[in-house]
Structure 1
Amino acid sequence: MEPEILTVTELAKLLGRTESSIRSAVQARPDWLPPYFKQGARLAWRLESVRKFLREYEEGEHKAPKVGRPRNAPPTLRKAG
């Protein structure tokens, strides 16, 4: 039977990442990390929420917005003569 609540170790296995990368990501808040909650001092994820998040991420949701100034399209080149 699969656990309903995932720990860092279980989430790392599910996502194919290391436990260290998951713990670091909690601080950095990247777009690929599903939302978590705390059980006391432990980080936890609901399996159902993680699966839903991954489906949405695959469809293009949860992408971090691009930063920087908007760019203008380059002028078109004109043929001389």
Structure 2
Amino acid sequence: MEPEIIHIPELALMLGRSESAIRSARQAGAAWLPPSFMQGSRVCWRVSTVRQFLQECESGLHAPRRPGRKRQTPPTLTTG
């Protein structure tokens, strides 16, 4: 029977990342990490939430923003 709630080691296996990468990303607030909750002093994830998050990422809902400066509208040419 699969557990309903997982912790950092299990999430690391699901995402193919190291445990330290998960911990660092959580502290940095990385967008590629599914939403978590606290159970006492432990960080937890629901397996169903992680799977849904991965499906949303696959469809492009959690795509990271591209860095760069904002575009300015070009000036219009006036002939007179």
Q: Flag whether TM exceeds 0.5 (same fold).
A: yes
Give yes or no for the alignment of 1:48 onto 2:40: no
Q: Distance in 2 between matches of 1:11 and 1:49?
A: 11
Q: Distance in 2 between matches of 1:55 and 1:32?
A: 12
Letter in 2 for 1:55: Q
The structural deviation recorded for 1:72 is 5.7
Unaligned runs of 5+ residues in structure 2 are 74-80
TM-score (normalizing by structure 1): 0.81
- SS of 1:61's equivalent in the other structure is coil
Q: Distance in 2 between matches of 1:5 and 1:40?
A: 13
Letter in 2 for 1:29: G
Aligned match of 2:3: 3
Aligned residue pairs total 74
Q: State percent identity of aligned pairs.
A: 55
Deviations 1:43-76 (A, max 9, x none): 0000000000000001101123233322369xxx
Aligned match of 2:68: 68
Q: Cα RMSD over matched residues? A: 1.9
Q: Distance in 2 between matches of 1:14 and 1:64?
A: 20
Q: Distance in 2 between matches of 1:72 and 1:63?
A: 23
Aligned match of 1:28: 28
Unaligned runs of 5+ residues in structure 1 are 74-81
